[in-house]
Chain A
């Protein structure tokens, strides 16, 4: 598929806030039906990169291309109108609203006419429930249920289903599995696979290498605001990726020094630095 034009491409994007350079010459491509995993430790610049893609920040230098054509986003809405949807860790949903209502926030279906146009709760609920069920979340049956009553994985899935329903072409998932248990995370990974199957370009941001390897086609490791490695599925092992994320310092070395420490201190782990 590498001959098709990427849906979204960054070319040598720099972002600085005043004198502080956060991103250096980031170049990335993501194609339809492909999952790009963006790996990076805390503070590597992942959030700034997401915000740049979502139209919150404007790149200081470099350009963003969609379908091979340069674009600028002045506001988050510009990115959204182009089909870039960002799903945050907690789904960007409203815990005390019903599934149907939160699904259609800002684009409510109505019935009736003139000043008596009313929110069409039944249609909203039906569409919302169907959209999530199509993504394999069959536990959701009632659109009147409050979003806050769903599990973390279900909320993520609801947010993803919402983005897809409203025509997203690029799905940016910001640490979707970070706060979830093993089962819930597997759930979300399945949804990511489903989004890919439907031909979306997915950017999956995570620091959990296992989750990335489970769904990723293409990987980029971000260290201190620069792409430290860019490789495709199967080109690197889990250990190599972990080492890369840790900033070159080998995880194996760290583990070895830990083992030595444990041996020398009768099995007690080192005291955390105060």
Chain B
């Protein structure tokens, strides 16, 4: 009992149960062969691309902010790489650094606007989202005369960012796992992580406690925009080309993953493990449906229902965690 209670007080508890629940649902009602599903690349690839963006978006949400400009930063990252290293034929490293610094720059703008004004970051990043779409489309048509640019990356870049391991699993899966481990360590084991939760819990008190509130907020925005352009860059290297469109689905998909993962929309609560599990749950629902007897047109219904169930679960677990005190229970 003690162990179960301890588990339920963890921010990732709801995400873990959603993850198990969806697999169970597919096995019981969809006739999924677990071995097939585990070996399949489609959902892991989706999870990895989504997950690299979902982690910083989730951390921003923990800090009490939101970034939806990532939807434009994914094509921006791939177009920058392809234009610099494909169209202009510069070394790939120039294209990569260009994509990442472009992401950092947009993140800096998002962050500065957020800390300097009282406009909610949802609105600010909505503005930069739409503006960036314009820049990416108009810019690439202006420069290359097309909305799609080919790119031939050298072998080492392919190996690091665009490899298909075993012919099917994208190498970004490893980047995602590494990133998750690193951020998990920073968020849950270092003082910096403690500051993040304080920031989302009460900005005023955090500032009074001497935490660099502005610097941290700007840093988180830079991290999320850069992560999105990193994903775009990897996709360009993998697919040997870049398009100006795409990326918009990431906006809602990251929010679903993060919220299923137990992050509180209003900030101050959540975990990296939860975000990872939320991303996996989302990926299994949307890609795993091809392994079931269920018509795939139903997948959005399942995602919506999972989201609502997960949020309700997270809500009640959080209440439970608030009132949980192990020794008090033992005494009664």
* A residues apposed to B, CB below 8 Å: 76-77, 80, 86, 92-97, 101-102, 104-108, 110, 117-119, 139, 141-142, 145-146, 148-149
Contact = CB atoms under 8 A, between A and B. Distances in A.
Contacts of B297: none
B209 A117 contact: no
A77 B210 contact: yes
B198 A94 contact: yes
Interface stretch (B42-50, B172-180, B188-196): B188-196
Interface string B182-203: 0000000111011101100110
A106 B209 contact: yes
Majority-rule SS of A interface residues: loop
Interface residues of B, number: 30
B327 A141 contact: yes
Majority-rule SS of B interface residues: helix
A117 B190 contact: yes
19 contacts: A76-B208, A77-B210, A80-B210, A92-B204, A93-B202, A93-B205, A95-B268, A96-B268, A97-B194, A105-B194, A105-B206, A106-B195, A106-B209, A106-B210, A118-B189, A119-B194, A141-B327, A142-B326, A145-B324
A196 B214 CA distance: 36
B38 interface: no
Nearest to B202: A94
A77 B201 CA distance: 20
A102 B269 CA distance: 13
B322 A149 contact: yes
Given A76-B207, A119-B191, 19 more contacts: A76-B208, A77-B210, A92-B202, A93-B202, A94-B197, A94-B202, A95-B322, A96-B197, A96-B201, A96-B264, A97-B197, A101-B194, A102-B198, A105-B205, A106-B195, A108-B191, A142-B326, A142-B327, A149-B325
A60 B134 CA distance: 50
Given A94-B197, A97-B268, A149 B323 contact: yes
B262 to A, nearest CB: 12
A139 B189 CA distance: 27
Contacts of B202: 92-94
Interface string B299-332: 0000000000000000000100111111110000
Contacts of A148: 322
Given A94-B268, A96-B269, A108 B325 contact: no
Contacts of B207: 76
Contacts of A146: 321-322, 324
B105 interface: no
Contacts of A76: 207-208
Q: Which 5 A-B pairs have the closest CB atoms?
A: A94-B201, A106-B209, A108-B191, A149-B322, A118-B189
A106 B198 contact: yes
B97 to A, nearest CB: 24
B164 interface: no
Contacts of A119: 189-191, 193-194
Contacts of B323: 149
Given A118-B190, A142-B327, A95 B321 contact: no
B17 interface: no
A5 B245 CA distance: 72
Interface centre among B209, B269, B318, B321 (most CB of A within 10 A): B209
B201 A97 contact: yes
Nearest to B318: A96
